[in-house]
Chain A
Amino acid sequence: MDIDVMDNEEITMLLKYPMMRKIVKNGVVHYQGAIDINEIIYKVSVIETDKGYIVELPTECGHLHDDFVALQPTLHLRRIISCLDALKNLIEKNVPSNALANNCDIYIQVLFEYSEFTKFHVSLKSCYLHHDLSKITVKMLDEQNKEHCLVIKVNYDGREIFEISDYDLPVEKEELKVSSSLRVVYDHFAGIVNELQPYFRLMDEFDRNCYILDPVDHKNRHNYRRVWLDDNLSMIITINPFRMCQLPEIKFLGPDRLTESYYSNINRNILEWNANEDVFMEILKLIGLEEYPLKPQITIQEDVLVKSGDCCICFSSRLNNKLPEVICKHPFCGNSYHVECLYEWLISLNARKVFTTIIGQCLNCEKNISCPIPS
């Protein structure tokens, strides 16, 4: 006689999870019901298969799906109790017991802060609260009518509520304020923008008056410019945004015979650096030029494969955001390479390594060239 008996396994389960039921349908074993975790009832459905348990996670825990899949190999196959225990642990760990109550408080604060904020900061260009209360997008205009966009994220995990998650300034994220007051976060940001006005003016001046090779699509956070000086010659000027009076870092890229004279100009003129004057013109004086060279009149043919200053191995100027740094020292050659590209080529030729460099031949002039071994 066929009797539907309850096995020990099921009894163990019921003792711990009394709201679960074992159902056998067409030879497939299902467990359905609910489990109570911190006084919240989660609906659970588990199917037993040869490869383990397939668990349909409660809708409110959908985001834990991948974590649960990762747990699978550690589960004791054919022991439903271990599967439910693992699920319970996972939910307990990831969903704070009083999450719902907490979030309510945060919702109220976000809404309150937001409405106060839009009331008082009428100078904002735009300010939107996202429908799910997850972030606030703000656009503001600075003194020079330059637009700044920032995204303020709402933290629901017990940290300070408002945190700037997306912005475009040459500052580290750690330097921005995190607070439970939206105004404090914003005012601090606006303060930095204000402080950076001279920096923005200088960068704009470069962008307007020089032929900038890099960054092509410059943003406020880019505190350097690679300025075209001549075929095969450019300089990278790096500005300290908060110390404009400080001597900027200037690096020339090009064959030695061209860069040497510029470096000696700097050495000669450095004593005349006057931090109180216009930095843009002071840099010009420093490098010993009358004016910044304009974009060459003869427009570079678009379908030239390798432009001057491009890496002649990957045929581009930017590789993983780095510009070619190795330049053939031989006069009249001056071919440029990315460190990674030249290294890769020399290594495939079994070139000789000497300490931290690898030595081979320039692909163009075949004279010796050395390349630092990338870390």
Chain B
Amino acid sequence: MQRQRISKELSKMQNNPPQGICIFAKDDKLMLESKIKGPEGSPYESGVFTLEIQIPERYPFAPPSIRFVNRVYHPNVDDNGRICLDLLKMPPSGGWKPTIGIEGLLIAVRMLLDSPNPDDPLMSDIASEYKQDRQEFIRKAKECTEQYAT
């Protein structure tokens, strides 16, 4: 059941990819890789980010783990590429649901790049910079994107 659903999700995304996102399976179907384009108008605009998606045994009853491979300067992404996103966690603390799927998560991650959530930060210094000195934040995020994701 799990493999069937993943195959279905993958072929749908490959035939009809969501904007700025592509995905492919690595050696087996439980490890996927995705490339997402930085959203236009954001400091990440010029970059293409690689994400590693690990499908757990219990998928879709448990959410996949998603991690940035490139370094990203963002209040909700830490140095190891871990992402702080509600949808990536199980309820009751998180908002994962089996109906979301891989595509939904990737869209949410891309949206997170566009609009960080400084009130639930993983990197508190970046979050306070984002709140207090937006110009500086944008400059650093752009610099980091150019250095690591282009």
Bound together? yes
A2 at interface (Cβ–Cβ under 8 A)? no
Residues of A within 8 A of B4 (CB): 314-316
Q: B58 touching A315 by the CB < 8 A rule?
A: no
Q: Which of B5, B12, B90, B91 contacts A314 (CB 8 A)?
A: B5
A375 at interface (Cβ–Cβ under 8 A)? no
Q: B61 touching A315 by the CB < 8 A rule?
A: no
- Smallest distance from the beta carbon of B149 to chain A beta carbons, Å? 29
Chain A interface main SS type: loop
A316 to B8, CA, bound (A): 9
Residues of B within 8 A of A312 (CB): 98-99
Chain B residue, CB-CB nearest to A350: B92
Q: A315 touching B5 by the CB < 8 A rule?
A: yes
If A303-B16, A312-B99, A363-B99 touch, whether A345 touches B61 (CB-CB below 8 Å) is: yes
Q: A305 touching B1 by the CB < 8 A rule?
A: no
Q: A319 touching B90 by the CB < 8 A rule?
A: no
Q: B1 touching A364 by the CB < 8 A rule?
A: no
A348 at interface (Cβ–Cβ under 8 A)? yes
If A303-B15, A303-B16, A313-B99 touch, whether A344 touches B8 (CB-CB below 8 Å) is: no
Q: A315 touching B90 by the CB < 8 A rule?
A: no
A316 to B29, CA, bound (A): 18
- Smallest distance from the beta carbon of A272 to chain B beta carbons, Å? 43
Residues of B within 8 A of A344 (CB): 61
Q: B101 touching A305 by the CB < 8 A rule?
A: yes
A312 to B60, CA, bound (A): 11
Annotate B11-25 by CB proximity to A: 1 below 8 A, 0 otherwise.
110011000000000
Q: A305 touching B8 by the CB < 8 A rule?
A: yes
Q: How large is the interface on B (under 10, 10 to 19, 20 to 34, 35 or more residues)?
A: 20 to 34
Q: B62 touching A305 by the CB < 8 A rule?
A: no
Q: A319 touching B61 by the CB < 8 A rule?
A: no
A370 to B125, CA, bound (A): 45
Q: B1 touching A319 by the CB < 8 A rule?
A: yes
- Smallest distance from the beta carbon of A169 to chain B beta carbons, Å? 30
Residues of B within 8 A of A349 (CB): 90-92
Residues of A within 8 A of B82 (CB): none
Q: Which of A305, A313, A316, A363 contacts B12 (CB 8 A)?
A: A305
A305 to B16, CA, bound (A): 11
Interface residue ranges of A248-297 to B (CB < 8 Å): none
Residues of B within 8 A of A303 (CB): 11-12, 15-16
A341 to B5, CA, bound (A): 12
If A312-B99, A315-B5 touch, whether A348 touches B58 (CB-CB below 8 Å) is: yes
CB-based closest 5 A-B pairs: A313-B98, A363-B99, A315-B5, A314-B1, A303-B15
**Additional 13 contacts, C-beta under 8 A, given A313-B98, A348-B90:** A305-B9, A305-B12, A305-B103, A313-B60, A313-B99, A315-B9, A316-B4, A316-B5, A319-B1, A341-B1, A348-B61, A363-B99, A364-B99
Interface residues of A (CB under 8 A from B): 303-305, 312-316, 319, 341, 344-345, 348-349, 363-364
**Interface CB pairs A-B, < 8 A, 8:** A303-B12, A303-B16, A314-B5, A315-B5, A344-B61, A345-B61, A348-B58, A363-B98
